Structure 1
Amino acid sequence: MSGDPRGSLWVRRFRPRPNAPVRLVCLPHAGGSASFFAELPDLLGEEVEVLAVQYPGRQDRRGEPFAPSMDALARDVVAALLPWTDRPLAVFGHSLGAVLGFEVARGLRAAGRPPAALFVSGRRAPSRQRPERAHLLDDDGLLREVRALSGTDSRVFADEELVRMVLPAIRADYRIVESHRSAPEPLLDCPITVLTGADDPKVTAEEAAAWQEHTTSAFDLVTFPGGHFYLTAHAAPVAHLIAATLTGVP
């Protein structure tokens, strides 16, 4: 499985766990990459194998064009994940990754491989829309938008070359997530767990709770201290929550 060429560009398996009873596929935020989740396997433990998705247009995929739309990206991710569904597969996505995770979960269900669970982080429910146009800002405006979320190490902004490398991916990702509108149907039939930061300017408590409208199964909402990138400061409790949910261990 680890050498399957169908998923080699898309799926990163930082720490293979061939005996783990469940897999968790992780979808990064706008401008993010698979390496954002490189430490997660150690936090989750031996019962969960982590797969991280690498979007085109960044790091070792820099030479590839960015995804043209959220729907196109979801279709490609679903195709890359199908070879990994020989065991139960759960989905975790942060911010843009939450929107993508919802569409991937729908795609897996349509392919006859429904996910075991969906974890969405740092994003309002698809049924709650806000006008967003950050991708239309000039470079300085877009950088201010990203800085306001405290999601990128300030040292990146001090390095002009790094900024030039990262900004196109951020803009491309903002464009597809800001222009995407999820269809109201179908609902999912897997549990949804929402994780959110208490001070996230991108998600109100009502917008987070509205995810319950998108599944016929169980729902849980967990709020952590912090803002949009609360999970960087609370990685251990986030991992504990995910592991306990997937393995049934309190």
Structure 2
Amino acid sequence: MKIIAFTFAGGNKHSFQIIAKNIENFTVIEYPGRGFRMGEDLITDIDSLIEDLFQKVKSEISQHQDYIIYGHSMGALLGYLLCQKIEELGFQKPAKLVVSGRKPPVTKRENLFCHLPDNLFWDEVVKIGGIPDELINHQELIEFFTPILKADLTIVEVYKYQKKNKLNIPIDVFYGSEESTEDEMQGWEEESNEKISITQMKGDHFFIFKHVTFFTQYFKNLTQKLTI
């Protein structure tokens, strides 16, 4: 069983390393403009990004019939949209979609800041959390990451929900207690005909990194259960 993962805004193939280092077949699909795809242009159009990532996913699922799609925050939205595309085109669908740190796709974002000047934009990014101290205080790194983060957050902020057929894929949803409420997360139940599981975890937007042991074991157990 292969886990195909998509990161939060500004992430790269190492973003889930602390969770995935002891999990076999945990593959992070990297977005253009970072990591080993550094030479490629950043993408700010969500349809273009989904098409780009779909081509990468196709090569992965052709090698492993059984797989799971996982995404955190921006990655959760992309994982959801890729599941739609996979089903629409008749490809082998994942055994499960796992999303964390993302309200239901139908939810409109209230705090929009991708259009702000760089200094104000960065202030908003820091408020979200998850930025290492060495990055916050390193001007060269800030200048390097700002265009990447702006491109990714443009994807998220410009996205407009389109009502389509429900997925036929089970979905496990995880959210941070300091970021969302159970009522806000209920909209995920409208996104699939299969079982939806919604779980609250203590923490903020990046709660997954406060529960490393839990998520490492969760993914291990998930792959074992789904392959039995």
- Provide the TM-score with structure 2 as the length reference: 0.91
CA contact (8 A) 2:19 2:215 kept: no
Letter in 2 for 1:240: Q
Query: In the alignment, which of 178, 183, 207 is matched to residue 206 of structure 1?
Result: 183
Instruction: Tell me the residue number matched to 2:52.
Output: 76
Alignment of 1:33-72 (within 5 A): 33-44=12-23, 46=24, 49-72=25-48
Shift of 1:62: 2.5
**What 5-or-longer segments of structure 1 have no aligned partner?**
1-21
Q: Percent same amino acid among aligned pairs?
A: 26
Structure number with greater CO (CA < 8 Å, separation at least 6) is 2
Alignment of 1:1-250 (within 5 A): 22-44=1-23, 46=24, 49-85=25-61, 86-111=64-89, 112-200=91-179, 203-248=180-225
Q: 1-side partners of 2:134 and 2:197: how far apart?
A: 36
CA contact (8 A) 2:171 2:197 kept: yes
Shift of 1:244: 2.3
Per-residue deviation, residues 121-166 of structure 1 (Å, max 9, x unmatched): 1010012223342101111221121111211102101111100100
Q: 1-side partners of 2:45 and 2:148: how far apart?
A: 13
CA contact (8 A) 1:40 1:50 kept: no
Shift of 1:39: 3.5
Structure 1 stretches of at least 4 aligned residues deviating more than 4 Å after TM superposition: none
Q: 2-side partners of 1:55 and 1:176: how far apart?
A: 12
Per-residue deviation, residues 51-91 of structure 1 (Å, max 9, x unmatched): 10111112332232111312211111111111222321111
Q: 1-side partners of 2:149 and 2:44: how far apart?
A: 13
Instruction: Tell me the residue number matched to 1:16.
Output: none
CA contact (8 A) 1:30 1:170 kept: yes
> Superposition RMSD on alpha carbons, in Å?
1.6
CA contact (8 A) 1:119 1:192 kept: yes
Aligned residues: 223
